[in-house]
A and B are shown apart, each in its own frame.
Chain A
């Protein structure tokens, strides 16, 4: 240590940050990522702690106290900080429980579509040839079907329920996973480390899960955020049209739909759940954009 000091120049030594430090720096300097992650964490905590945070039972109807104004109106009361809806149910409690439904549907539908889309995309990109032709055809066909219309029709004919909405959405929104995973895998298929793994005699499964997957994981996560946001928006639209989650569940889309009846007199009934829905989707999108920028800074445009 001391012997080295003798040779040092009067200028401070130039140290290069490690990749980990650079990643940390990019993370803490990316305001979009921080904002998105912040909002998402808050909504996640609220959803998990809903039974403890909610002032009332979200299903309890009290027709004597319907359409009470929120606290920022002169006649608002602290017993119902965001007022009550057309059936006298506490709006804040419904909002908090609604976060659970949006997050659950978004995450579950995204997971189903991720499994379908990613396996199709990786198979098409890795094997090429006939597999690629078939998968590309399936993607083209799927894109031709209008998601919202098919989802509406199936849910209406089979009957709306939470598992039903998750399944239908999960089976419909795998297209972007397949498209992105296919092109990413195609790019990586001829990388040196894949050839090296082949040369050492690794099995196909080993190559896909051990070599390929870790390198396409960041792309997969970015698409997953986009799809989760899409699933949440679709669920809200389906519930708004009355063919998604069924009452009395406090889905935000359903709350907007129920509030629509009174929107000319009590506009906050649609403004509040809509704003929260917007914030959640915004947060997930910001998080996804942030992850893309942080993990692949050279690809930023």
Chain B
């Protein structure tokens, strides 16, 4: 277990370093950052000033190492738009998105696990068809459009929930549904197939043959084993959701990390953009590391591979 964990941590570190380099290069390969930072109508003198001020005249590796070492100390530079530390602003906004992501995840799990279990217990019945229908439709639904439809129906027609902003819990209901729906098909299908595998296994038959109540077989023996693959996908999907929050938060004007990312890209706030890409990637790396180690803990067969 220790060996596996060490190997996995080393890989995560290597990925993290590569990702940090990529997010640093991202704003540089797509054009001269000095032009973007100086603004559209900047003179040559202003561009030269910006280049010197942000140290953009140094060799690229020196710039990267400087940025990377500072980032390790939590200093991600200054945002030219906010005239404040990037790390401070990101800290505030990330909290909002974390709440949104966690509630969306909860929504997706509450919807998908019972449906997946029911579909597995009664395959090829109407409940299985409904579950399949939800997952097929959910996969094809453009998330931003689904968000707009939710706004039209629950916000405008029924007037149940406010349509934009993030000042109270009621503002989070519609974005939670829009973001959570996105992850539901994956969870549901995994729960269903995992449950079906487990239900046809020998130990479940033994438990049934011993006369255990079907409810206790289902929850004590079957679900616990069927849920293992879902655990690893939860972490991955949470990472995808943080990426998807860029779109959903723009639709609902939720003042979180995703909206910050979108606005920073639109106003060419490059220090902010590269910090956001870095942080989102690192969160994903950490989540998958966590999921893999947890999985190895739950299922010893994985450790050998």
Contact = CB atoms under 8 A, between A and B. Distances in A.
B140 A158 contact: no
Interface stretch (A13-21, A54-62, A149-157, A178-186): A149-157
B193 A301 contact: yes
B223 interface: no
Interface in A255-283: 256, 260, 263-264, 267, 270-271, 274, 277-278, 281-282
A253 B251 CA distance: 13
Interface stretch (A68-76, A119-127, A135-143, A201-209): A135-143
Interface string B120-156: 0000000000000000110111111100110110001
Interface stretch (A105-113, A188-196, A229-237): A229-237
Contacts of B148: 256, 260, 263, 270, 274
Contacts of B156: 264
Interface string A236-264: 11001111000000000100100010011
Contacts of A278: 140-142, 145
A281 B136 CA distance: 10
Contacts of A285: 136, 139-140
A301 B36 contact: no
Q: Which of A145, A233, A271, A286 has the most CB of B within 10 A?
A: A145
A296 interface: no
Nearest to A259: B148
B234 interface: no
B298 interface: no
A144 interface: yes
Interface residues of B, number: 48
B68 interface: no
Contacts of A221: none
A240 B143 CA distance: 11
Contacts of B280: 146, 149
Contacts of A48: none
A93 B22 CA distance: 42
Nearest to A158: B30
Contact of B243 (A146, A158, A271, A282): A146
Nearest to B267: A156
Interface of B is mostly: helix
Contacts of B288: 140, 143-144
A147 interface: yes
Contacts of A148: 243-244, 246-247
Interface stretch (B13-21, B78-86, B105-113): B13-21
B193 A143 contact: no
Interface stretch (B49-57, B204-212, B258-266): B258-266
B47 interface: no
A152 B262 contact: yes
A156 B136 CA distance: 32
A145 B15 contact: no
A143 B26 contact: no
Contact of B19 (A145, A236, A282): A145
A137 B15 contact: yes
A144 B149 CA distance: 30
A80 B194 CA distance: 51
A141 B149 CA distance: 35
B254 interface: no
Nearest to A157: B30
Given A140-B11, A144-B285, A241-B247, A157 B142 contact: no
26 contacts: A141-B22, A144-B281, A144-B284, A146-B280, A146-B284, A148-B244, A148-B246, A149-B277, A150-B277, A152-B262, A157-B27, A237-B143, A240-B247, A241-B144, A241-B250, A241-B262, A243-B266, A256-B144, A264-B156, A270-B149, A270-B152, A274-B148, A281-B139, A282-B136, A285-B136, A286-B136
The 5 closest A-B pairs by CB, nearest first: A146-B243, A157-B30, A282-B140, A274-B145, A281-B140
Given A153-B277, A281-B142, 20 more contacts: A140-B288, A144-B285, A145-B19, A146-B246, A146-B280, A147-B243, A148-B247, A149-B246, A153-B265, A153-B273, A154-B26, A229-B140, A242-B266, A243-B265, A243-B266, A256-B148, A270-B149, A274-B145, A282-B140, A285-B136
Interface of B: 11, 14-15, 18-19, 22-23, 26-27, 30-31, 36, 136-137, 139-145, 148-149, 151-152, 156, 193, 196, 239, 242-244, 246-247, 250, 261-262, 265-266, 268, 273, 276-277, 280-281, 284-285, 288
